[in-house]
Amino acid sequence: MHPLTSFAVNPDGIRFETQEEEERVILFLRQHLVVNAPWAVVAILLVFAPSVILPLLLRSVSFTIPPSYYLVGTLAWYLATIGFVLTNFLHWFFNIYIVTNERIVDIDF
């Protein structure tokens, strides 16, 4: 089974903590990959925003800002962007549903 699989029937190697001996997994479900499109588009915009927004802001400022502040501000921007992407990806990846022959298990991150 591929790690980014959204739908798997009778998957091999899928187990969960409270699974009983005779219980077998019938379905492994996760939201479809397309639900990541909105935050992925926002992430792409956030990656390119400093190269577009920063020059516009610097033109409107009447005082000079030291170059080291640009570096720190840009690094903080990209750190926040990475945090945004990582949070959304982990939320999608670890929220899964497992259908067994005895019950339905909802695992939330």
Q: How far apart are CA 42 and CA 84, in angstroms?
A: 10
Number of residues in the chain: 109
Q: How far apart are CA 92 and CA 95, in angstroms?
A: 6
- Domains in the chain: boundaries: 7-107
Q: What is the pLDDT of residue 45?
A: 95
Model confidence pTM above 0.75: yes
58, pLDDT greater than 80: no
DSSP 22: T
91, pLDDT greater than 90: yes
pLDDT band at 30 (very low <50, low <70, confident <90, very high): very high
Query: What radius of gyration do the chain's Cα atoms show?
Result: 22
Q: What is the pLDDT of residue 62?
A: 74
Q: What is the pLDDT of residue 31?
A: 95
